[in-house]
Structure 1
């Protein structure tokens, strides 16, 4: 890639409506699913931070060699926000970002409320 055509990566941000409150309150199950996603898409985890709130919502940041996956849940509103960014260091990972987000949408059986793509 030359410097004029280089794109650091695709950053996808979604807000989802989720009917299954258990999936919005079970951070451990989300981590297990995320580990499966990382294996499926050959992504390397370099760190993980989890915070469970008093109302059973959670925030998780998964730091990847390729960048990150972050989630924040609001069970009281049946919603979550998901942030997936993969860098394009050696290859274009845009399709992979979209596939990862789609797998999470399937996992949550979610309806998309907001969907943003930022080409960095």
Structure 2
């Protein structure tokens, strides 16, 4: 059950960026990042909070064959949290997890990033 768990806290994200409030745009960005990293998305769910006023954030999850990626946006704070976990049971997916996190960070273009990582199992 060995795995790598990566998180990133993003600040200074433009609240007008579509990924912050548009579930379809976030789903496309997550799907593209998953595929480009060489991981396998098997399901996704994007949920927008509050009224469709352009200010409500999103919680999005992509279930991976290798584990998951979760994204939480707070447009009112210009903040995003990212969570990527991959299992390394059948092979080492660590580089793919890092590539996925890097792609999502780049998509949000934050002012600052705080990263964390844990080896699990």
Match of 1:48 among 44, 48, 70: 44
Which residue of structure 2 lines up, in the alignment, with residue 9 of structure 1?
3
Structure 1: give runs of 5+ residues left out of the alignment.
1-6
Separation in structure 1 between the aligned mates of residue 67 and residue 111 of structure 2, nearest angstrom: 25
User: Highest CA radius of gyration, 1 or 2?
Assistant: 1
Which residue of structure 2 lines up, in the alignment, with residue 25 of structure 1?
21
When the two structures are superposed, what TM-score results if normalisation uses the length of structure 2? 0.85
Report if the CA contact (8 A) 1:13-1:117 is conserved: yes
When the two structures are superposed, what TM-score results if normalisation uses the length of structure 1? 0.85
- Can you list the C-alpha shifts for 1:12-48, whole angstroms capped at 9, x where unaligned? 0111011243231122111111121222223222221
Separation in structure 2 between the aligned mates of residue 39 and residue 116 of structure 1, nearest angstrom: 23
Report if the CA contact (8 A) 1:16-1:113 is conserved: yes
The worse-fitting range, judged by mean Cα deviation, of 57-66 and 42-51 is: 42-51
The worse-fitting range, judged by mean Cα deviation, of 76-85 and 39-48 is: 39-48
Which residue of structure 2 lines up, in the alignment, with residue 90 of structure 1?
90
Q: When the two structures are aligned, how many residues end up with a matched partner?
A: 114
Runs of 4+ that moved beyond 6 A: none
